[in-house]
């Protein structure tokens, strides 16, 4: 797997500032939307098969029938009721994620509806799920 963001040497605030600096402007989420930056896409499957860049985004981490994505919260809309804060590490399924910027490290910056967030994690990295036979 490739490295995830934020880098261990950056605080969440430094990571968020670096993201907006690379984008060129800050985006303030409105409504019940959350802007976030995804972790780096996997470059190999759990069994070690190389994924070309065009296929890595479609692969992700399989969970049931969906693709689990992790990322860092950059901006939170005023109608979000979940207890989120900028810098939180979140998990969500790829399907409802709309992205607007592809960063130099191939991570994505985009938005998701707050009710699509599956959970918040305090882990710097989320270990890949083990593929079961038949997956």
Among 28-32, 44-48, 74-78, the least confident range? 44-48
Cα separation of 126 and 19, whole Å? 20
Q: Is residue 94 part of a domain?
A: yes
Quick check: is 133 in a domain?
no
Rounded to whole angstroms, what are the CA distances from 89 to 10, 49, 55, 65, 74? 14, 27, 24, 22, 10
For the chain, what is the domain count?
1
Q: In whole angstroms, what is the distance from residue 67 CA to residue 43 CA?
A: 15
Quickly count: other Cβ atoms within 10 Å of residue 4's Cβ: 19
Which domain range does residue 44 map to? 12-121
Residue-wise pLDDT tens digits, 39-57: 876 667 677 777 665 555 4
Does residue 59 lie in a domain region? yes
130 occurs within a structural domain: no
Q: Is residue 134 part of a domain?
A: no
Whether the pTM exceeds 0.75: the reply is no
Quick one: pLDDT at residue 131?
41
Mean pLDDT throughout 110-124?
Answer: 83
CATH code: domain of residue 95: 2.30.33.40
Q: Is residue 6 part of a domain?
A: no
Structural domain contains residue 30: yes
Is 80 among the domain residues?
yes
Q: Which residues contact 132 (CB under 8 A, 6 or more apart)?
A: none
């Amino acid at each position: 797997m490739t490295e995830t963001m934020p880098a261990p040497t950056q605080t969440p605030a430094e990571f968020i500032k670096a993201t907006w600096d690379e984008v060129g402007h800050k985006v303030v989420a409105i409504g019940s939307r959350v802007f976030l930056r995804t972790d780096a896409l996997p470059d190999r499957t759990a069994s070690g098969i190389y994924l070309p860049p065009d296929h890595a985004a479609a692969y992700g981490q399989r969970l049931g029938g969906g693709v689990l994505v992790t990322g860092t919260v950059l901006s939170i809309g005023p109608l979000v009721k979940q207890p989120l804060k900028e810098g939180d590490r979140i998990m969500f399924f790829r399907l409802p994620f709309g992205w607007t910027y592809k960063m130099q490290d191939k991570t994505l910056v985009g938005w998701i509806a707050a009710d699509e967030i599956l959970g918040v994690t305090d882990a710097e990295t989320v270990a890949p799920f083990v593929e079961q036979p038949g997956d």
